[in-house]
Structure 1
Amino acid sequence: MQRNSFNAQLSFFQKVKNFDYILLFCILALGLISAFSMYSTDGGQILFHSKSHITKFIIFFIMMIFLSFFNIKFWHYFAYLFYIVVLFFLVWASLYGIKASGSQRWINLYFINMQPSELMKVAIIACLAKYYHRIQLNKVNNFQVIFVSLIILILPIMLVISQPDLGTSILIALSGLVVVWLAGINVKYFVYSFLALLISTPFAIALLKPYQKLRILTFLNPDRDPLGAGYQIIQSKIAVGSGGLSGKGFLKGTQSYLEFLPEKHTDFIFTLFAEEHGFLGSIGLLLIYTVVIYRVLKIGSISRSYFAKLFCYGYGTAIFIYITVNMSMVLGLLPIVGSPLPIMSYGGSSMLATMIGFAIVMSAKINHKQLIA
């Protein structure tokens, strides 16, 4: 009985027809741009980073297409299980994970070193979307409802902070809070929470690890240690500024090629792109991201299922947050945190999570007329 409910009543060709081809084209465009950017980070050769990134994009893009054919009821039914499995992976990473650069965030799955916190960015949205799916609007602000949603939020956040990974934990919190906001929780709770955050900020800073405090101090004044903690952000600003209006040209970025800019293939990929393609190229990239976000929100607006609406609105807003945080970080407008640029940055876990999110969105588009009881 349950199996039949998962089988879409649409034929295969109807499902294919219902795809959002504009969104699909934009994802492919981002994948193509990221491939050339990664090729550039490897010095104009197909080496480890470019080969790995391109391979993962192709595999996860095909996976996204395949998962898109799953009925939206399937994603609704397994949303809690998705969250629990990723939560288990977070616990496993904290206890037995791979250590690198002082953090213990990854688990070895043989074919990929997975960072569960990246998957939690999507799992938290799906879980809360299901949780609020059947809750009536007049009960959203009940103490019990708010308490359960806070537990769902706090558990993964505490696990990610313990790894330690403060930046990703903040992004997970924002992803979940977006869904809570969209579900209709009273704005006064956000005001109270914000005031409590302001009051507790001095105490929270005292609990930060030395490298986290250093990042904040470096953000406030990068020139205090130009050859140490402030080096990355200073070089990033120089690279972006040197791109000018039209950029230095593909494979001609001096900051990148002369190795002034470390870790350019990960969170700082936008810096390399901006140096090579300038202001006009950066605007073009932002336009593609804008279309992606618009299409995700558009799918949410036409979906009859409340679960699909909440997920699409939440995921679209989360993508906006990830892009804003990443670009603000490399431009020196925010402290450096672990926030990859969706699809563009190197990283299998980030790519996997992003594609799973798009698969659920595409499933919502294909089955946008379907209601979920």
Structure 2
Amino acid sequence: MLDLRRLTGQELRLSEKLVEFNWGFLLLLALIASIGFAMLYSVADGSFTPWALRQAARFAAGACIMIVVAMIDLRLWMRLAYPLYGMSLALLIAVEIMGFTGMGAQRWLDLGIIQLQPSEIMKVTLVLVLARYFHGLTLDEVSRIRNLLIPLALVGAPVALVVLQPDLGTAILLVAAGAIIFFSAGLRWRYFIFAGAGVLAAIPVIWSRLHDYQRNRVFTFLDPESDPLGTGYHILQSKIALGSGGIFGKGFMEGTQSQLNFLPEKHTDFIFTMLGEELGLVGGLALLTLYFIVLMFSFNVALQCRNQFGRLLAIGISMMFFFYVFINTAMVMGLLPVVGVPLPLVSYGGTSMLSLMFAFGLLMSVYIHRNLEISRGPSAFW
């Protein structure tokens, strides 16, 4: 029997949403996170503290957030897009005023109970607000100059604040996420060509304004052997660890570079290196395969969605996830300069874990409401 609610886009009951929720997708995320728990257990020399147990608790909390977010009507998330973006922007401003410095950058807010990194939240809310904005435009309206001023400001404001922290890696991710939404909304190619030409022309100015450590990262990327005990230490140790892992690895908790503390930041940015040393090429490819399945499911959600808001939101979340994986894995292999981008669901980190699970909750809301038809224009907001 045909379900008329699915055909007409009427609101589903909570029980129906729970049935529609893709529990297999949550299980897939739990499998990836479990690999992270195992690596954090190995980092701590066979102890669940201080990282593995805390990370598991964060994933459990994130799974609850994901389910709750998925149960909320997609139209409500569209109404909340601007307020959530405004809240994230206010938190970024608060970082400039009262944020504390860690690892050479002022990126965190101490809220007493938790330490929050607002830039991680902004990555999700920026995708949300751009999807909301472009939902109200027709394909012809997207490429009109006057209609691009607001979304450019929506991208530019958080990018400027993040650059001030300074966090160039996150700023690049925000720009990339914005560009993907612009492209998916139907912005004409010539604008991207002009933007690319502008960036190339501005490279000398950008280079002159980089901090010394940021320039050193570029020099190190080009020639890491020039300073093997200084700026090149991180990437050289990472390459040694990955290469020594071979095909099948040295065995769980048997890595020499990681267990003897030659490998820096092994519980955060360089956790993929540790996995490659202990579990080898096979272990690394297994994790990347799981990531690929997540990505394909996310793109499939976008293809199935019947409304523009949900389609753009799913594409934005999918590409944000891809950028996380690509930049982190390419960085530890020496294919990109070293930047502070965590490996999704695997690297230790509270804000990144919870914000990513919130994003997946939005993705699942799109999946549950994929047949929902949402009208365009101002009335859709209210």
CA offset at residue 366 of structure 1? Answer: 1.2
CA distance in 2, matches of 1:372, 1:241: 51
Deviation sequence 1:120-174 (CA, Å, 0-9, x none): 1111100000000010110111111111111111000000000111111111111
Query: Partners in 1 of 2:192 and 2:340 — Cα distance?
Result: 25
Cα distance, 1:115 vs structure 2: 0.4
Return the letter of the residue paired with 2:95. A
Residue identity opposite 2:57 in structure 1: T
Find the aligned partners of 2:104 and 2:245 in 1 and give their Cα distance.
34
Hey, what's the Cα distance between the residues in 1 that align with 2:23 and 2:54?
A: 26
Within the candidate set 339, 352, 373, 1:337 is matched to 339
Q: CA deviation at 1:16?
A: 1.6
Question: Which secondary structure state, in structure 1, belongs to the residue aligned with residue 51 of structure 2?
Answer: helix
Residues 158-197 of structure 1: pairs in structure 2 closer than 5 A: 158-197=160-199
Please give the per-residue CA displacement for 1:3-61, whole angstroms capped at 9, x wherever unaligned.
Answer: xxxxx832233112211233222111111111111111111111212222111111111
8 Å Cα contact 1:23/1:291 also seen in 2 = no
Q: Deviations over 1:105-128 (max 9, x none)?
A: 111122211100011111110000
Matched residue, 1:125: 127
Equivalent position to 2:348, from 343, 346, 359: 346
Counterpart of 1:310?
Answer: 312
Q: Which residue of the partner structure matches residue 64 of structure 2? A: 62
Shift of the 19–41 alpha-carbon distance from structure 1 to 2, 3 Å rule, reads: same
Is 1:43 aligned with 2:21? no
Write the letter of the residue equivalent to 1:217. F
Distance 1:100 1:110 in 2: 16
The residue number in structure 1 matching 2:26 is: 24
Aligned residues: 367
Supply the distance in 2 between the matched residues of 1:113 and 1:223 (Cα, whole angstroms): 36
Deviation at 1:333, TM superposition (A): 0.4
Using the size of structure 2 for normalisation, the TM-score is: 0.94
With 18-27 and 110-119 compared, the bigger mean Cα shift is at 18-27
Deviations 1:192-249 (A, max 9, x none): 1111111211221111001101111111100111001100000001111111111111
Contact 1:133 1:307 in 2 (8 A): yes
Structure 1 residue ranges (4+ consecutive) displaced by more than 6 angstroms after TM superposition: none
**How far apart are the structure 1 equivalents of 2:161 and 2:26?**
34
Distance in 1 of aligned mates of 2:115 and 2:374: 35
- Select 2:367's aligned residue among 362, 365, 368: 365
Aligned to 1:3: none
Unaligned runs of 5+ residues in structure 2 are 1-9, 376-382
C-alpha separation in 1, matches of 2:31 and 2:165: 34
The letter of the residue matching 2:309 is F
Give the aligned residue type for 1:354. Answer: L
Q: Secondary structure at the match of 1:48?
A: coil
Identity of aligned residues (%): 38
Code of the residue aligned with 1:203 in structure 2: it is: V
| Corresponding residue of 1:244 | 246
Shift of residue 279 of structure 1?
0.7
| TM-score, length-scaled by structure 1 | 0.96
Matches of 2:321 and 2:118, distance apart in 1: 18
Q: Distance in 2 between matches of 1:211 and 1:80?
A: 35
AA of the residue aligned to 1:348: G
